[in-house]
Every structure is written in C-alpha cells, then in structure tokens.
Chain A
Amino acid sequence: MKRRLVLWLPLAAFAIFLALVAAGLYAPPDRAVRSRLIGQAVPDFDLAPGMPGRPGLASATLRQGQPHLVNVFASWCVPCRIEAPQLDALARRGIPIGGIAVRDRPQDLARFLATYGDPFRAIGADTDRRVQMELGSAGVPETFVVDGRGIIRHQHIGAIMPQDMAAIIAAFEAAR
C-alpha cells in the first residue's frame, strides 16, 4: 500500500510544477525596476539647462530645505504627455518640480512644453542619461519625491495618472 502511494509522488510533483507555471503565467507581471536609493541621499549632479533662458537642475538645489518632485521625462516619451496635466495640477498646488530631460534637444523640449504645459521650475539636460542612471531610474517617465535634506523618499514609476495623485501628494507632504 505504501509503495503504491510512493508511485504517485512523481505525478504529484509534476502537478505542483504545473500549478507553479500556471500561476506565474497568469499573474500580472510586475516588471518595474525600483531604485535602490529610496531613503538615501540624491547623488551629486549638476545638469546644464535643458533649454536656453531656463535654470538647469543641480542636486544642491534639492538640499536647501524645501522638498521637491524630480520628474525624469523626455519630449519623445509618449506617456510623459499623458501625465502632463497631473504634473500641471501638482505645480499649481505650489509643489516645486524639477525636470530631468533625458536625451532631449532644446527645440523639441520647447515644443513639448508649449504643447503639453510647463510645470517645471528648472530643467536639467541629461543628454547621456548619466544622471538618470545615477538615480537608479530605469525609464521615462519616473518621479522622485526628495525631501528638504536631499533624501529620496519615494519613487513613482510610469506616468502619474489621476488616481496616483493622492499618493504623490501624500508622499510630498510626508517629506516636509
């Protein structure tokens, strides 16, 4: 009798394996790569202005006592257009937003901001993606909440949708 049961063991193991595979196939994949710098200081950077006549973005600005949102974006990034109204609404609430324009050109940036709104206090040109990689950001758009001492408190991956606003504002208020 015991031997009979043992014979079924491989089949049971195979069934468990199949169940695991099925669970993995049907579960919604979470492919977001999170930055390891949450809770740590913003790495040092000093980016030249993304377009003439506007200030660039430097990490020193993020350590002057006021919390900031740092938005990693690009004019060539389609989801960035979708999140533009939400960024505008955040800027209208008085939340300072610094932009990091990834691999962008001044003329494209100007057109993007004229079309979709300009919520940025400063825009740094990250032409070679170095600062994006410094921050542990894996794509555009991404938004970091940085507190007044320059510590990264929160990372939002992907476009900020209307339903994400509450979480972003809460993270910003918590960083005060």
Chain B
Amino acid sequence: MRAALIALALFAATPALADSLLPAARYADVQLPDPRQEREAKALMETIRCLVCQGQSIGDSDAEMAGDMRSLIRERILAGEDPEAIRAWLVSRYGDWVTYTPPLSPITWPLWAAPFLLVLAGAWLARGRLRRRRKN
C-alpha cells in the first residue's frame, strides 16, 4: 500500500521549473534559413557559456535563458553582424567568464603557457634519462 502510494506520488510529481509561461524565443530552437549563417551561429553558441546551468554551452543547454541567448545570436547574425562582435558584446556585459575561449590577459596567461611549460619540463626529464642510459 505504502509502496503504491509512493509510486503514485512519484508519477504525480512534476519538476519545479523556473521558467516563464511564454513560448520559446523565435530562434531559440529554429535554424537560420542560410546554412552558412547557421554554421556561424552554431559555432558561436558552442563557445558561449550558459549563465544558468554553468559548465554547459548555450548550444547544449535546455535552460530558457540559453534559448533566449541562442535566439539573440541567430537574430544578430541574420542581421549581418560578425560573430566575434556578438562575443565581444556578451563579454562586455558578463565578463570573460561567458566565453569558452578566454583571451590572453594577466590572469589567464598561465593557462596558455602551461602546455608549453609542461612539454619543456618533459623534454628536460627525457634528456636526463637518455643521458644516463648512454653512460650505462
């Protein structure tokens, strides 16, 4: 009986959505008619971070706000705007955080330098090893 009640409650439960009652934005889930423009828009969406479900791109996110941002991007590209200009517009409002391609800055340079430093460290290590082997 109790199990049946719990099962019933699970069926009746609906997720508490923090979404509005309005339909999705015009271009949230609708592609642009021109494939070249759609390709540009999609490429940009995949490198813009969702503000709600952080860690996802707006291209991957089902959040309503991500849909609104996708629509904004598609409408601006449809109007002939350059994708990088749209990225700059978003960064000027939400900071570097919003883009998955962080620009080189005093805070981010270790991020960009790390791979090269690691390769150098590896080369130095390998050099020591090889030299020792030759001595043997």
Contact assessment for B92 and A103 in the assembled complex, using a CB-CB cutoff below 8 Å: no
Partner of A35, one of B18, B68, B71, B93: B93
| Number of B residues with CB within 8 Å of any CB on chain A | 23
| A3 smallest CB distance to B (angstroms) | 13
Partner of B51, one of A33, A36, A37: A33
Residues of A119-176 contacting chain B, CB below 8 A: 127-130, 133-136, 138-139
Residues of B1-23 contacting chain A, CB below 8 A: 18-22
B122 within 8 A of A: no
Contact assessment for A77 and B18 in the assembled complex, using a CB-CB cutoff below 8 Å: yes
A58 within 8 A of B: no
Q: A76 with B21: in contact, given A36-B95, A136-B94 (CB under 8 Å)?
A: yes
A102 within 8 A of B: yes
B residues less than 8 Å from A105 (CB atoms): 21-22
| A74 smallest CB distance to B (angstroms) | 6
Contact assessment for A34 and B72 in the assembled complex, using a CB-CB cutoff below 8 Å: no
A residues less than 8 Å from B123 (CB atoms): none
Q: A78 with B22: in contact, given A33-B94, A133-B69 (CB under 8 Å)?
A: no
A31 within 8 A of B: yes
B residues less than 8 Å from A136 (CB atoms): 93-94
Smallest Cβ-Cβ distance to A129: which chain B residue: B68
Partner of B72, one of A37, A74, A133: A133
Contact assessment for A31 and B92 in the assembled complex, using a CB-CB cutoff below 8 Å: no
Smallest Cβ-Cβ distance to B92: which chain A residue: A36
B97 within 8 A of A: yes
A35 to B94, CA, bound (A): 5
| B128 smallest CB distance to A (angstroms) | 12
A residues less than 8 Å from B97 (CB atoms): 33
B residues less than 8 Å from A88 (CB atoms): none
Partner of A76, one of B20, B92, B94, B95: B20
A104 within 8 A of B: yes
B residues less than 8 Å from A139 (CB atoms): 51-52, 65
Residues of A18-35 contacting chain B, CB below 8 A: 31, 33-35
| A102 smallest CB distance to B (angstroms) | 7
Q: A108 with B21: in contact, given A128-B68, A129-B68 (CB under 8 Å)?
A: yes
| B118 smallest CB distance to A (angstroms) | 13
B54 within 8 A of A: yes
Contact assessment for A76 and B19 in the assembled complex, using a CB-CB cutoff below 8 Å: yes
A154 to B93, CA, bound (A): 14
Q: 21 A-B residue contacts at CB 8 Å? A: A33-B94, A33-B97, A34-B95, A35-B93, A35-B94, A36-B93, A37-B93, A78-B18, A102-B20, A103-B64, A128-B68, A128-B71, A129-B68, A129-B72, A133-B72, A133-B90, A134-B93, A136-B94, A138-B65, A138-B94, A139-B52
